A and B are shown apart, each in its own frame.
Chain A
Amino acid sequence: MITTSNISDHKTIVLKIKNLYKSFGDNNVLNGFNLELYQGENLVIMGKSGSGKSVMIKCLVGLMEADSGSISVMQNDITTLDRESLDILRADIGFLFQGSALYDSMTVRENLEFPLRRHTKKLGDNINTEELVIEALENVGLVSAIDLMPSELSGGMKRRVALARTLILRPKIILYDEPTSGLDPITAKEIIILMQDIQKAYGTSSLIITHDVDCARVISDRMILLIDGVDYAVGTFKTLSASADPKIKAFFKQ
């Protein structure tokens, strides 16, 4: 593994993956992947399509079971947690899906209210659902869409609403799965700025999976290149983009 940064020194680790292995039949997708995410950091993971980025992020929230390895989220090993404890921990992890994954049959308001049903304890007994929904929508600039159905929203608006739904539980970590994919450059830029604003406002740590070099350049504090199922190179955008290694260089050629 190539390491070109010491940015991580003396910071609290909020998420740690150690020696993660996952295969589908004969196809070994992850071959001992490692990762450390620090408090308040934006960590970008880049890799080719089919390199296992989405598999890794799904293992991280318990949507998929890893073959071996450990995943620790805020000192909790999620591979050993029971369903109840995992659900409680999930309130601290926001997940923005690639296709937004808004619930088709519900309005924007109902989409945002949905995660609150299970996690009222976290936000206190006296929570005002309406206030929380409006606050989350204000943060993404979409209060006017509160009573619309997902089918009435554009791709960029859907992504914003999905982000608002992620924010409503005030997560400590946000996982972004290809946040700008399928969006035009202007909307993609707006989403990136929004992600930065959210990070500043909420002090979250973010793990961002992308193959958008512009997104990585603007938002990353640190990057990991996922090649052949391992964390092939770790460093800042500047150091990695200057690397002479042909495998690393291939990512930054545009």
Chain B
Amino acid sequence: MLKYNSIREKLRSFFMEIGELSFFTFRFFKESLKPPFEFKELLHQCYNMGNRSLLLVGLTGFIIGLVLTLQTRPTLMEFGAVSWMPSMVGISIVREIGPIITALVCAGRIGSGLGAELGSMRVTEQIDAMEVSGTNPFKFLVVTRVVAVTLMLPLLVIFGDTLALLGSYLVENVKGNVSFTLYFNQVFNSLEFGDIIPATIKSFFFGLAIGLVGCFKGYYCKKGTVGVGKAANSAVVFTSLLLFIIDFIAVFVTDIFYDL
């Protein structure tokens, strides 16, 4: 009975949180359309989230491209299909691996940062101080950060994809003596707008999810400094889960369009 009650309580709080997050999302869209707009803070956040994630995203992408090529090469050689390597890597990076890996890396870096930053501002009454000074803290803190991460993520994905393809080319060049032009010609010949556009649209939604969940967890942080740690942690866990759900929906919808 006790176990049943505990499961019921956990389910209840989970659905309560989903409801609160939905309300938070609705408020975000409402506030983001209302002037005054905080352009200066938006640019500052774009710089913070975009520029400062470049190294991490680039390095991750480069290693993923390198490893993917190294791991796949022996299998393709067995089937005598090693010439298909650039096409295979290109499509898998652009369609799926690039966006999801970049989003997961950003969920860790940006999502947890947002949860911790807004959480500590909440527990040290800085958000209350903004409210009391007549500034709308939701607009200044949440709207700018969510918009910044939504805009920056697709750019980071493109950057990550490029580095991943360069990593893959490096392996092909060393192992198979493939030239830069030949490799990238083959990559771009196999790619279509139908690969690039859905991946870019998907990246916007990934960015939106990272921003919304990170800000939601931080903005409503409770229970002092312990709460700040929990906010940062749960922002990453919840966002990662949400990213896979969005990815599944995106692939499902894209598939419908392919069939048409």
With A104-B120, A104-B121 in contact, is A63–B132 under 8 Å at CB? yes
Given A101-B126, A103-B126, A114-B131 contact (CB < 8 Å): no
Closest chain B residue, CB of each to CB of A91: B134
For residue A221, CB closer than 8 A to chain B, the reply is no
Q: How far is the CA of A165 from the CA of B129 in the complex (A)?
A: 10
Q: Write the chain B residue with the least CB distance to A64.
A: B128
A62 to B120: give the CA distance in the assembly, Å.
21
Chain B residue at minimum C-beta to C-beta distance from A111: B129
When the two chains form their complex, are residues A118 and B126 in contact, meaning their CB atoms are under 8 A apart?
no
Asked if A90 meets B120 with Cβ closer than 8 Å, knowing A97-B125, A101-B125, A104-B126, the reply is no
Query: Which residues of chain B from 94 to 126 have any CB-CB distance to chain A below 8 Å in the complex?
Result: 120-121, 124-126
A27-63, CB under 8 A of B: which get 1 and which 0?
A: 0000000000000000000000000000000100111
Q: Is the CB of B134 within 8 A of A88?
A: yes
CB distance from B133 to the nearest CB of A (A): 4
- Whether the pair B129, A95 counts as a contact (CB closer than 8 A) is yes
Choose among B126, B130, B131 the residue with the greatest number of A CB atoms under 10 Å from its CB: B126
Q: Chain B residues with Cβ under 8 A from A83's Cβ?
A: 136
Count of A-B residue pairs with CB < 8 Å: 52
CA distance A22 to B214 in the complex (A): 31
Asked if B22 CB lies within 8 Å of chain A CBs, one says: no
Contact with A along B130-154 (1 / 0, CB 8 A): 1111111000000000000000000
**Nearest Cβ distance between residue B254 and chain A, in whole angstroms?**
39
Q: Cβ of A87 < 8 Å from any Cβ of B?
A: yes
Say how far A164's CB is from chain B's closest CB, in angstroms.
Answer: 13
CB neighbours of A104 from chain B (8 A): 120-121, 124, 126
Given A104-B120, A104-B121: A115 in contact with B126 (beta carbons within 8 A): no
Taking chain B's interface residues, is the majority helix, strand, or loop, or is none over half, making it mixed? helix
Residues of A within 8 Å of B124, CB to CB, are 99, 101, 104
Chain B residue at smallest Cβ distance from A61? B132
- Asked whether A90 lies within 8 Å of B125 as measured between CB atoms, the reply is no
| Bound CA span A215–B130, Å | 27
Q: Which residues of A contact B136 (CB under 8 A)?
A: 83, 87
Q: Which residue of B lies closest to A58 (CB)?
A: B128
A147-171 interface mask toward B, CB cutoff 8 Å, 1 = contact, 0 = none?
A: 0000000000000000001000100
Does chain B have a CB within 8 A of A117?
A: yes
Asked if B128 and A115 sit within 8 Å, CB to CB, the answer is no
B120 near A101 with CB under 8 A, answer no
A98 touches B133 (CB 8 A): no
The residue that B125 contacts in the complex, of A88, A91, A99, A115, with Cβ under 8 A, is: A99
State A61–B129 Cα separation when bound (angstroms). Answer: 11
> Across the two chains, which residue of chain A brings its CB closest to B38?
A117
Instruction: Sort A-B residue pairs by CB-CB distance and give the 10 closest, nearest first.
Output: A115-B133, A101-B129, A87-B134, A101-B125, A118-B134, A95-B132, A90-B134, A97-B125, A118-B135, A101-B126
A114 to B41, CA, bound (A): 12
| A88 (CB) vs chain B CBs: closest residue | B134
State which of B120, B121, B125, B134 has its C-beta within 8 Å of the C-beta of A98: B125
What are 17 sample pairs from A and B whose C-beta atoms fall under 8 A apart? A61-B132, A63-B131, A63-B132, A90-B132, A93-B132, A95-B132, A97-B125, A103-B121, A103-B129, A104-B120, A104-B124, A104-B126, A114-B130, A114-B135, A115-B134, A117-B135, A118-B134
Whether, in the assembled complex, A119 has its beta carbon less than 8 Å from a beta carbon of chain B, the answer is yes
- If A102-B129, A119-B134 are given as contacts, then 20 extra A-B residue pairs at C-beta distance below 8 Å, sorted by A number, are A58-B128, A62-B131, A87-B136, A88-B134, A90-B132, A97-B125, A99-B125, A101-B124, A101-B125, A101-B128, A101-B129, A103-B121, A103-B126, A103-B129, A104-B121, A104-B124, A104-B126, A115-B135, A118-B135, A119-B133
Please report the C-alpha to C-alpha distance between residue A93 and residue B132 in the assembled complex, in whole angstroms.
8
A97 CA to B133 CA, complexed, in Å: 12
Residues of A within 8 A of B126 (CB): 101-104
**Chain B residues in 8 Å Cβ range of A62:** 131
CA distance A101 to B127 in the complex (A): 8
Contact assessment for A97 and B129 in the assembled complex, using a CB-CB cutoff below 8 Å: yes
Determine the chain A residues whose CB is within 8 A of the CB of B135 once the complex forms: 114-115, 117-118
The proximity string for A residues 63-97 relative to B, scoring 1 for CB distances below 8 Å and 0 otherwise, is 10000000000000000000100011011010101
Chain A: minimal CB distance from B126 (Å): 5
Q: Which residues of B contact A61 (CB under 8 A)?
A: 132
Which residues from B are CB-within-8-Å of A119?
A: 133-134
Cα A98 to Cα B129 with chains together (Å):
11
Cα A99 to Cα B121 in complex, Å, equals 12
With contacts A101-B124, A104-B120, A104-B121 known, is A118 near B133, CB below 8 A?
Answer: yes
Residues from chain B with Cβ under 8 Å of A91 in the complex: 134
